[in-house]
Amino acid sequence: MVFTREQIMDHYKAEAVRHTDAGTSTIQDVRTRDIEMRALFTYIKDGYRILEVGCGNGFVARAIVEQFQVELYAIDFSADMINLAQNQGISNPRGKVTFACVDILKLDTKHTYDLIFTERCLQNLCSWEDQKKALANIAAALKPGGCFVMLESFWSGLNNLNQARHELDLPEIPPPWHNLLFDEEQTIEYLTSLNCDYLDQNCLLSGYYFGSRVILPTIYPKEKNVTSKSILNDYFCHFPPYGDFCPMKILRFQKNK
């Protein structure tokens, strides 16, 4: 075990204090947040019953029900995050959201949702055993024909990113201490064993990460510190998502009918 559940809980308690209801909560790079939300929204349709696992302060959930006529159940195991989520107003919602303090490892719901999504949540679980339990609970909660949109961090993207950086003599980027990255093949194999077919993947952030984490530090003046706030990233975030150069990506699965 590389980190503990208590450390994760403390981490998000501090994050709740630092960022309150802002979109920078849990992801300081606002362009990454924007790209993630635009990608997630392409999988949502009016009329869906949706489960968001690890909703944090509810920033994304609020945006979803403002835009879509859906019934959204948004859960997180951090009471601090759920308190923030429950205390924000939503302007002219088209859909309905309910926030609840629930641990994904304890979710016990069957055949309920058209769509379940995660946004960098399951990577915070402490072991592959816990990650498998969470995936099994998610698979059970899907309706037959329902989809699981898994936006999490995978080794393949981080390894490719670091290989590109290595060629340019840039130092390796390690995974954040609070992330246990997924092995893509192992994940697909496990979800397939749970009666969920692998549909496709979306390397939504590959172009942006290649620009901001490979090109930018290479061309930047050596005496200056590169920051994701650089205005050059306003250009790089429009790079097409070619290749697999970012740990975060979406794998999509469909429960068999």
Ligand X SMILES: C[S@@+](CC[C@H](N)C(=O)[O-])C[C@H]1O[C@@H](n2cnc3c(N)ncnc32)[C@H](O)[C@@H]1O
Binding site for ligand X (CB under 6 A): 8, 12, 25-26, 54-56, 59-60, 75-78, 81, 103-105, 119-121, 124-125
For ligand X, the closer CB: 36 or 214:
36
Least spacing, CB of residue 166 vs ligand X, in Å? 27
For ligand X, the closer CB: 54 or 211:
54
Least spacing, CB of residue 197 vs ligand X, in Å? 25
Residue reference for tokens 């919602």: 93
Q: How far apart are CA 34 and CA 45, in angstroms?
A: 19
For ligand X, the closer CB: 101 or 232:
101
For ligand X, the closer CB: 190 or 214:
190
Least spacing, CB of residue 167 vs ligand X, in Å? 30
Least spacing, CB of residue 141 vs ligand X, in Å? 13
Residue reference for tokens 């469909």: 254
Nearest to 202 by CA among 72, 29, 42: 42
Which residues touch 188 (CB under 8 Å, ≥6 apart)? 198, 251
Helices (H), 116-228: 128-141, 155-167, 184-193, 206-210, 216-219
Q: Give, as one character, the DSSP assignment of residue 199.
A: E
Residue reference for tokens 């961090």: 153
Q: Which tokens hold the place of 164? A: 């590109």
Nearest to 118 by CA among 205, 169, 53, 58: 53
For ligand X, the closer CB: 76 or 244:
76
Least spacing, CB of residue 118 vs ligand X, in Å? 7
For ligand X, the closer CB: 126 or 170:
126
Q: Give me the torsion for CA of 125, 126, 128, 134, rounded to 10°.
A: -30
**Do residues 60 and 119 lie in contact, with contact meaning Cβ atoms separated by under 8 Å?**
yes
Least spacing, CB of residue 123 vs ligand X, in Å? 7
